[in-house]
């Protein structure tokens, strides 16, 4: 392989320590200061409430209600109106309170936002960010804990960001806001209170550049969003057993930094893909298909997938934990790929 990408931006260990939630808020707030055409639209965004997950606290206090627009509960119209604004010179950030609710907005997202540039022969740009948080882990049950990233990755015309750390969340969201293409930005409800360092001042993280969260030599673990934290925990456990796992976070699912994954597999000859969504037709299958096609001869073992079981998320906490991928599942999958299980 040649022309390998420079993976960069490994998570800083100094700077200002903030939560993932504040990283999201700061990215939006700083971009609103930079550009008066950036505004927020969605449900329950204004102070003092500041969003269902408090990602917009103290934004309307600073920028006023004209730039933080509370809407009726009407997801298709939230996204459709944001599109209309994006087509007429503004740079909206639309929030869907739960990723699950994108199902109410699917025509606007898929048929309108993603396609209008292409269908019009490139006449327009769509500088629009749609934010939503997904994922399980807090007994939110079957309609408030979906991981629908694969649905969105399936739509030509969108970019998809899915960050796991405060540093990545802030840098990627700033990039998303500055891009002139529509970005679906997926957060995770269980990450909002996690902390990490961010640099002082302005920075951005490019799309399509994976981050190697942990270096290793024996097995490659590709994970996204909250599953990156699980993969890092699994890597610690594996290390105690003398297994060196490399953990790769693609950070954006579309575009996907394929080369960083391929280079790692070239080194480790083994791949585990971890994704919180149900396994069938999921994002892990797409990564596995890509790797078997482009690096078949590098593989010494079948590619392992660690995903949720193919059922809706149950409410009861033990059942939910049973259905979702676990750190132990990742450890097991890594050992299986090394023929140690």
Partner 1 sequence: MFMSLLLNFYRVMTRIRTFERAAYELYTGGKLPGFLHLSIGQEAVSVGACLALRADDTMASTHRGHGDTIAKGVSVESAMAELFGRVTGTCHAKGGSMHIADFSQGILGANGIIAAGVPITVGAALSAKYRKTDQVALAFFGDGATGTGVLHEGMNMAMLWQLPMIFVRQNNRYAESTPMVEHTGIVDVVQWACGYGMPGVRVDGNDVLAVYDTVSKAVERARMGGGPSFIDCETYRWYGHNIGDPGTWRPKEEIDAWRAKDPIARLKIKILEDGIAGEADLDEIEAEEQARMDAAVIAAEAAPKPELHEALEGLYVDEQLGQMAIRGVRS
Active site residues: 75, 144
State the DSSP code for 238.
H
Angle at 273 between CA 323 and CA 296, to 5 degrees: 140
**Contact call for residues 133 and 189 (beta carbons, < 8 A):** yes
140: number of Cβ within 10 Å:
19
Residues within the interface to partner 1 (CB under 8 A): 3, 5, 39, 66, 69, 71-72, 74, 76-77, 79-90, 92, 107-108, 111-112, 116-126, 156-157, 159, 179-181, 207-208, 254-259, 290
Between 119 and 328, CB nearer to partner 1? 119
**Rg of the Cα trace of the chain?**
20
Cβ neighbours of residue 74 under 8 Å, at least 6 residues apart? none
Instruction: Dig out the tokens for 193 from the structure.
Output: 């209170």
Between 23 and 256, CB nearer to partner 1? 256
Gap between the Cα atoms of 274 and 278, Å rounded = 11
Q: How far is the CB of 87 from partner 1 (least distance, A)?
A: 6
Q: How far is the CB of 219 from partner 1 (least distance, A)?
A: 24
Angle between helices 166-178 and 20-34 in degrees, nearest 10: 30
Q: How far is the CB of 5 from partner 1 (least distance, A)?
A: 6
Element (H, E) at 329: helix 327-337
Between 183 and 274, CB nearer to partner 1? 183
Q: How far is the CB of 3 from partner 1 (least distance, A)?
A: 8
């Amino acid at each position: 392989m040649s022309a390998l990408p420079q993976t960069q931006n490994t998570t800083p260990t100094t700077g200002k320590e903030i939560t993932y939630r504040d990283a999201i808020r700061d990215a939006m707030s700083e971009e609103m200061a930079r550009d008066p055409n950036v505004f927020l639209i969605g449900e329950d965004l204004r102070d003092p409430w500041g969003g269902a997950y408090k990602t917009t606290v103290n934004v309307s206090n600073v920028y006023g209600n004209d730039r933080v627009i509370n809407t009726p509960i009407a997801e298709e119209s939230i996204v459709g109106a944001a599109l209309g604004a994006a087509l007429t010179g503004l740079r909206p950030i639309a929030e869907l309170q739960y990723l699950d609710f994108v199902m109410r907005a699917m025509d606007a997202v898929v048929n309108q936002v993603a396609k209008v540039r292409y269908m019009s022969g490139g006449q327009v740009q769509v500088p629009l960010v749609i934010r939503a948080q997904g994922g399980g882990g807090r007994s939110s049950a079957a309609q408030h804990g979906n991981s629908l990233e694969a649905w969105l990755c399936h739509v030509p015309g969108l970019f998809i960001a899915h960050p796991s750390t405060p540093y990545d969340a802030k840098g990627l969201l700033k990039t998303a806001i500055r891009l002139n293409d529509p970005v679906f930005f997926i957060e995770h409800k269980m990450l909002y209170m996690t902390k990490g360092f961010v640099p002082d001042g302005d920075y951005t993280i490019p799309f399509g550049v994976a981050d190697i969260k942990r270096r290793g030599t024996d097995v490659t673990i590709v994970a996204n969003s909250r599953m990156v934290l699980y993969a890092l925990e699994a890597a610690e456990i594996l290390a105690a057993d003398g297994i060196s796992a490399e953990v790769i976070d693609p950070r954006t699912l579309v575009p996907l930094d394929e080369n960083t994954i391929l280079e790692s597999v070239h080194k480790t000859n083994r791949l585990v893909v971890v994704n919180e969504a149900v396994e069938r037709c999921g994002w892990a299958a797409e990564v596995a298909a890509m790797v078997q096609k482009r690096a078949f001869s590098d593989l010494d073992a079948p590619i392992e997938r660690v995903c949720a079981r193919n059922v809706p998320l149950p409410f009861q906490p033990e059942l939910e934990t049973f259905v979702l991928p676990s750190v132990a599942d990742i450890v097991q999958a890594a050992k299986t790929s090394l023929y140690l299980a």
